[in-house]
Amino acid sequence: MSDAYCSDCKRQTEVVFDHSAGDTVCSECGLVLESHSIDETSEWRTFANESGDNDPVRVGGPTNPLLADGGLSTVIAKPNGATGEFLSSSLGRWQNRGSNPDRGLILAFKTIATMSDRSLTVSKPQGIPQSVGNPLEVRLGLVATIKVSYLLSVMMFDYEIDRANEIYKRVEDQKSSRGRNQDALLAACLYIACRQEDKPRTVKEICSVANGATKKEIGRAKEYIVKQLGLENGQSVEMGTIHAGDFMRRFCSNLGMNNQAVKAAQEAVTKSEEFDIRRSPISIAAAVIYIITQLSDDKKPLKDISVATGVAEGTIRNSYKDLYPHVSKIIPSWYAKEEDLKNLCSP
């Protein structure tokens, strides 16, 4: 019981909640203070036919505005074991024979969600604690606005359409993707969505979760999608700008660097943008990490940095060569002294 103000008693009184009727009743005078209220707490009852099935879920998925029927069509599940009803089995067979225009879209949306949830496996760099495991698993780590069909806002009852699914739906509606590598198309949609949501992932990271699609195939699929969307809108598709700092925290985490080194790397990569260094953002990020680790007590071999960032060792060396003349202006003064910078190996 809890306290509430009773208009008859003219004071705070203890109230009783009648769960069956949804009424809030004053315990002293019996006045119904609130009626037909909605119980917003979790319900843990199970509505499964099987006694051994403890799954409390009793509703289907929410509506999906990307599907023709909003994703609310009825799906007849297969019967469980010998206790399954003959009727449900027959209806299930008839359902499978029927044509579902959204079947391809549903499968594609599930594949995109699986890709975004999948862990990419790389060899564990030296110095990473054994508790992390070997090989090292790194989750793609995408947020709901990128990987989920849509997000229901409880407060505003508003839909936020998923970017990757929306891109695929727009391409599919043009009926021009027939015969193309489906896995590469879905991976390219995920790559473009990450760029547009300012959560970029490298093509190599996307390739690692793309069900066998190669970097070349994903690159071609990306160019095809951008071209198709451009024809649809009559203007070029905004992909978003990639900065080296977008990858920094994730790469440092893969290497097990401490917080101080991560902070220094982030500051250094931000200052590096002030100079005309004509290298890809990923290469610059890898080179900055190499410099920061060489200035710390926990030095990382070039091979480990290459594994963690997906950048070739030769590319890191060349990027380091371009950064070396500016190292005194890039590296934070609180992290390394002038004498430490002079001890860096000459490229």
Does 169 share its domain with 227? yes
Categorize the per-residue pLDDT at 151 as very low, low, confident or very high, splitting at 50, 70 and 90. very low
Average pLDDT over residues 76-100: 61
Domain that holds residue 178: 103-124+142-233
Q: Which residues pair with 159 in a beta bridge?
A: 152
User: Of 179 and 94, which is predicted with more confidence?
Assistant: 179
pLDDT for the residue numbered 330: 93
**Average pLDDT, whole number, for the chain?**
77
Query: Which of 29-43, 272-286, 289-303 has the lowest average pLDDT?
Result: 29-43
Give the highest mean pLDDT range of 116-120, 179-183, 289-293: 289-293
Average pLDDT over residues 230-246: 81
Does 329 share its domain with 300? yes
Distances (CA, A) of 11 to 3, 7, 16, 334: 10, 7, 16, 63
Does 179 share its domain with 224? yes
Average pLDDT over residues 58-69: 70
Query: Which of 12-21, 148-157, 183-192 has the lowest average pLDDT?
Result: 148-157
Question: CA 278 to CA 160: how far, in whole Å?
Answer: 37
Give the highest mean pLDDT range of 111-115, 122-126, 146-150, 165-169: 165-169
Does 249 share its domain with 209? no
Residue 98 lies in a domain: no
Residue 47 lies in a domain: no
CA 259 to chain centroid, in Å, comes to 23
Residue 72 lies in a domain: no
Predicted model pTM: 0.68
Residue 249 lies in a domain: yes
Average pLDDT over residues 257-274: 92
Does 318 share its domain with 205? no
Nearest partner of 254 among 218, 212, 285, 297, judged by Cα? 285
Does 113 share its domain with 223? yes
Does 191 share its domain with 219? yes
Query: How much of the chain exceeds pLDDT 90, in percent?
Result: 22
User: Of 99 and 223, which is predicted with more confidence?
Assistant: 223
**CATH number of the domain to which 114 belongs:** 1.10.472.10
Residue 112 lies in a domain: yes
DSSP 8-state code for residue 56:
-
Categorize the per-residue pLDDT at 138 as very low, low, confident or very high, splitting at 50, 70 and 90. very low
User: Of 324 and 237, which is predicted with more confidence?
Assistant: 324
pLDDT for the residue numbered 133: 40
pLDDT for the residue numbered 322: 93
Does 178 share its domain with 213? yes
Residue 113 lies in a domain: yes
Give long-range contacts, CB 8 A cutoff, 24+ apart: 213-216. Answer: 213/181, 213/183, 213/184, 213/187, 214/184
Categorize the per-residue pLDDT at 241 as very low, low, confident or very high, splitting at 50, 70 and 90. confident
Domain boundary among 233, 266, 298: 233
Domain boundary among 184, 210, 233: 233
User: Of 248 and 127, which is predicted with more confidence?
Assistant: 248
Does 112 share its domain with 184? yes
Distances (CA, A) of 259 to 128, 255, 256, 262: 15, 12, 9, 5
CB 124: neighbour CB atoms within 10 A?
A: 20
Does 226 share its domain with 339? no
Average pLDDT over residues 123-139: 45
Residue 57 lies in a domain: no
Average pLDDT over residues 266-293: 92
pLDDT for the residue numbered 80: 59
Query: How much of the chain exceeds pLDDT 70, in percent?
Result: 72
Does 229 share its domain with 107? yes
Domain boundary among 212, 233, 254: 233
Does 250 share its domain with 322? yes
Per the structure, how many domains does the chain have? 3
pLDDT for the residue numbered 294: 92
pLDDT greater than 70 at residue 155 = no
> The tokens of 38 are what?
């909605």
Residue 131 lies in a domain: no
